[in-house]
Amino acid sequence: MNRRKQHRNTRKRRLLRLEKQKLRRERKRQRRRGKDWRSILTWAMQIAIVCFIAFVLVWFWGQRVSNAGISMKPVLENGDVVLVNRIVYNASRPKRNDVIVFKPNGNENSNYYIKRIIGLPGETVQIVDGYVYINGEELEESSSVTEIDDPGIAAEPLQLAGDEYFVLGDNRLASEDSRMADVGNVKRSEIYGKAWLVVSPLSHFGPLKKK
């Protein structure tokens, strides 16, 4: 009788041990599944963050615009592809000598123009005998820019509004810019961004040269 009772007790203890072992294994599996899900979520969040950063970099710093023509020679050659910084002017105003990208008169069907800012909002611009005057004083410019043989509408003083910029190409003998009535002054809202890096061809790769 005692032997039978002992056998039953031993069997109960063995079953209890097996049950505890099964419970421990189940808990381990649940912990592993929880870790797996946390790992998957962490991985997914990292991928999402990387994609977001890549999108921001491409959208704000990686917009590519191709330069057409030789109006910005020697800074840019025909066919050079530049990256455009689209957020720089959210934090600061366009400055004189910045090379900007814009569409004349905000015409969405037009190609992008790449020119250099010469006149700032509120200033008076005039071209006399091939020289640029700002508020009646001659503007000091680099020797790399060509002479101006056609002042266009800037032959008379041009008063810039509070949101307007006067732009010229560095190669003034072959540039369609603010001297032409169909381009005129560039409004702040028409500026797409600041050209800052030449990415193609590789022989021209690097930051935009200063004039």
Which residues are the active-site residues? 71, 115
b (16+ CB within 10 A) / e for 5-29: eeeeeeeeeeeeeeeeeeeeeeeee
Q: What is the dihedral of CA 90, 96, 102, 103, to 10 degrees?
A: 130
Output the furthest CA–CA distance in the chain (Å, rounded).
Answer: 127
Is 191 in contact with 65 (CB distance < 8 Å)?
no
Distance of CA 111 to the CA centre of its chain: 18
CA distances from 187 to 65, 118, 192 (A): 19, 13, 11
Q: Which secondary-structure segment (H or E) carries 206?
A: strand 206-207
* Residues in Cβ contact with 123 at an 8 Å cutoff, skipping those fewer than 6 apart: 134, 135, 160, 166
Exposure string of 191-200, with b = 16+ CB inside 10 Å and e = fewer, is bbbbbebbee
